[in-house]
Amino acid sequence: MREIAILGIGQTPVDEHWEKSLRELAGEAIFAALDDAQRTSADGLFVGNMLSGMLSKQENLGSLIAEWVGLPGIEAFKVESACSSGAAALRSGFMAVSSGEMDSAIVVGVEKMTDTLPSETTEGLATAADADYEAAQGLSFVAINALVMQRYLHFYGWKHTDFAQFSINAHANAMHNPFARLREPITEADYSRARMIADPINLLDASPTGDGAAALLLVPVEMLNPGSKPIIKIAGSSSATDTTSVHGRKDPLWLSAAEKSAKKAYQQAGIGHQDIDLFELHDAFSIMSALSLEACGFAERGQGPRLAQEGAILPTGRIPITTRGGLKARGHPVGATGIYQAVEVVQQLRGQAGPSQVENAKIGMTQNIGGSGANIITHIIKAV
């Protein structure tokens, strides 16, 4: 297997792009990534997307986008694992290039969620859960996460307001990210009085949806120009699953697929969690930040919120998270999110993160979650 580098990155703002189609959004991100890499083509295209069939009446995104960006003929697929579709596409592109099947791959995550009625988008997102045993019982996706958070508060004895700093940090970091959807700071008071969505998840616990696309160009390290520095390398790439339904798990408060994929990624990279300089985690809801930090070894079981309270998650802290706004404030165009995370880690490793730059960042981790912990994909990205 060959080592893989991320040579180019591109993204669109996360927003309500009513004036742009799926292919236009994807194209914008891909052209940016190709420009960034000073390339004009690639051998393959892997598209991360969850909802295009349901919300845009468009499947077969591989050929659609390949043609749109002027590369008709190349191998191209869509990869789907609900909200971790982006990272699933990255993982697929990684395997395709590392196997030697191709010498370069574009990986793009794209999602369009705001052209439809909110009820249609909500119905689409519910397909991430178990249709027969969760969604058909009336559980929306946020309702499932609300049950998890309710249980967490009860079991470990935290108060809802103990989660405030997760959202405050995300919004503070997004202020410096021109691609973020929500670029205004919030306060503890804002958090406490935010409108309830599904008790105990309120509006400021939940990430906004949005339209957006992000792209990467992957190439083998061995094919880079010898002089090019820094090399941004994928040092770990791993994925694991858990039961789709939360009620199917022995412990609904433990993300076993996060633990499993992170451990394998640490092993591949030859590091421990203490070597990670920043962690772009999947804060679709604030409770998921706590659970992810615990499953990946950064906090003891049940102690995730303490890292937020102590400031360890700030760009200046011990384990900075959501440094460009995270899902909470950059926004969560579901199938694109995993690629946004990787783009943001590369920005940090290149020293391009502006006021939320993590000083001397050398190793970043991304973790993308599909469903309520059902399909979790971890990447470790390293500047060498």
Cβ-count burial of 95 within 10 angstroms (0-12 exposed, 13-18 middle, 19+ buried)?
Answer: middle
Catalytic residue status for 83 = yes
Instruction: Build a one-symbol-per-residue string for 72-91: x at contacts with a second copy by CB under 8 A, - elsewhere.
Output: xxxxxxxxxxx-----x--x
Half-sphere exposure of 91 (CA within 13 A, CB side): 25
R_g (Cα) of the chain, nearest Å: 19
Burial 141-166 (b: 16+ CB within 10 A, else e): bbbbbbbbbbebbeeeebebebbbbb
Is 122 one of the binding residues for a second copy (CB under 8 A)? no
Instruction: Build a one-symbol-per-residue string for 226-245: x at contacts with a second copy by CB under 8 A, - elsewhere.
Output: ------------xxxxxxx-
Is 96 one of the binding residues for a second copy (CB under 8 A)? yes
Helical residues (DSSP H) of 246-333, grouped into ranges: 256-269, 286-295, 304-309, 326-329
Compute CA 115 distance to the chain's CA centroid, rounded to the nearest angstrom: 22
Is 140 one of the binding residues for a second copy (CB under 8 A)? no
Give the closest residue to 128 by CA, choosing from 285, 343, 341, 250.
285
Which of 17, 171, 332, 379 is the catalytic position? 332
Is 211 one of the binding residues for a second copy (CB under 8 A)? no
Is 135 one of the binding residues for a second copy (CB under 8 A)? yes
The count of chain residues that interact with a second copy, using the rule CB under 8 A, is 63
Q: Which is nearer to a second copy, 21 or 309 (CB)?
A: 21
Is 26 one of the binding residues for a second copy (CB under 8 A)? no
Shortest gap between Cβ of 155 and a second copy (angstroms)?
A: 23
Instruction: Build a one-symbol-per-residue string for 277-306: x at contacts with a second copy by CB under 8 A, - elsewhere.
Output: ------------------------------
Give the closest residue to 10 by CA, choosing from 336, 239, 355.
336
Query: Would you say 319 and 307 are in contact if contact means Cβ atoms under 8 Å apart?
Result: yes
With CB under 8 A as the contact rule, the residue among 31, 39, 95, 275 that binds a second copy is 95
Shortest gap between Cβ of 313 and a second copy (angstroms)?
A: 28
Q: Which is nearer to a second copy, 68 or 156 (CB)?
A: 68
Query: Would you say 142 and 160 are in contact if contact means Cβ atoms under 8 Å apart?
Result: no
Q: Which is nearer to a second copy, 151 or 249 (CB)?
A: 249
Catalytic residue status for 332 = yes
Cβ-count burial of 336 within 10 angstroms (0-12 exposed, 13-18 middle, 19+ buried)?
Answer: buried
Report the catalytic residues: 83, 332
**Contact positions vs a second copy (CB under 8 A):** 1, 21, 50-54, 56-64, 66-67, 72-82, 88, 91-92, 95-96, 98-101, 123-124, 126-132, 135, 238-244, 248, 256-257, 260, 370-371, 374-375
